[in-house]
Amino acid sequence: MPPPPSRRRGSSWKSAASRFDVPGAGDGRSLLLIACGALLRELKTLVRLNGWDHVTLRCLPAELHNRPEQIPGAVRALIEESGEDFDEILVGYGDCGTGGRLDALLAEVGARRLPGAHCYAFFAGEERFEALHEEEPGSFYLTDFLVRHFDRLVFRGLGLDRHPELLPTYFGNYRRVVYLAQTRSPALDAQARACARLLGLDFELRATGLAPFKTALAIGAGRAASTEGRELPWSA
């Protein structure tokens, strides 16, 4: 489950997928990219559009966000399993509720992660995400992935199908649902609005595209994004 409201600190529908390099691009070095399963679709798109043949993508179950204390151990297991086969390791997580334990692990093994406290910052951009939190700390965020899998990851994942009386316990401090939309999809928009109604919260749609995500990946990789490139396809 996404973190509870906290006091932490945009984009257009058509965002350019600027071409940029991650470590190893063009110089024969290999990169292991370990990421949350909630980012798989977007990462695959960026890997394909940029032609990163040197990147091997490994994803962990998105359900780990309901148990953030397990994230560092799961990342460590993947690194120990195959990290020695790669020249560099980049981790596609924010702190994601690990309380600094993920950063401690990455410092220990010499790996890097994407910038930001939460993966929502990857989609909105750090400045915009901070502004959204300042505007309303009680914001519950949805991405395309979370809209598609809301029932499994949120409703049933938190046991609300069996114990609906827990709804106020989990969501009593929230005031709105903010849908950070990566795609132009009336179907996903309608699903996101239905999620907000189910939770009894106000609804806001914020279109992000993939440009902020691309920038976060470039920063995490230690490379600056260029301004030239292709446009990302929009899909439902």
Residue 221 and residue 105 share a domain: yes
| 9-64 pLDDT per residue, tens | 333 222 223 333 454 455 667 889 999 988 888 888 888 887 888 889 999 998 89
Residue 91 and residue 138 share a domain: no
Residue 100 and residue 55 share a domain: yes
Question: Tokens standing for 22?
Answer: 């991650």
CA gap 2, 154 in Å, rounded: 9
Instruction: Kindly give the residue spans of alpha helices, DSSP state H, lying in 39-119.
Output: 40-50, 71-82, 101-109
In this structure, is residue 32 part of a structural domain?
yes
**101-105, 119-123, 135-139, range with the lowest pLDDT:** 119-123
Q: Is residue 158 left, alpha or beta, with left meaning phi > 0 and alpha meaning psi from -120 to 50?
A: alpha
In this structure, is residue 96 part of a structural domain?
yes
Averaged pLDDT for residues 134-140: 96
In this structure, is residue 5 part of a structural domain?
no
| pLDDT value, residue 91 | 92
Residue 108 and residue 59 share a domain: yes
For residues 180 and 7, the model is more confident at: 180
Residue 112 and residue 125 share a domain: no
Residue 112 and residue 84 share a domain: yes
Range of the domain at 139: 121-207
CB neighbour class for 121 (10 Å; exposed up to 12, middle 13-18, buried from 19): buried
Number of domains in the chain: 2
CATH number of the domain at 22, please: 3.40.50
In this structure, is residue 168 part of a structural domain?
yes
Residue 141 and residue 76 share a domain: no
Inter-residue contact 183 to 157 (CB < 8 Å): no
Residue 20 and residue 110 share a domain: yes
Pairing of strands 202-207, 139-142: unpaired
In this structure, is residue 146 part of a structural domain?
yes
pLDDT range class, residue 83, cuts 50, 70, 90: low
In this structure, is residue 7 part of a structural domain?
no
In this structure, is residue 9 part of a structural domain?
no
Q: First CA to last CA across the chain, in angstroms? A: 23
Residue 133 and residue 112 share a domain: no
CA dihedral 67, 125, 52, 65 (to 10 degrees): 10
pLDDT of residue 198 exceeding 60:
yes
Residue 143 and residue 196 share a domain: yes
Residue 192 and residue 135 share a domain: yes
* Residues 6+ positions from 22 with CB-CB distance below 8 Å: 31, 33, 50, 52, 55, 90, 217, 218, 221, 223
pTM, 2 dp: 0.73
Residue 169 and residue 97 share a domain: no
Supply the Cα-derived Rg of the chain in whole angstroms. Answer: 18
Question: What are residue 226's phi and psi, to 5 degrees?
Answer: -80, 170
In this structure, is residue 236 part of a structural domain?
no
| pLDDT value, residue 104 | 96
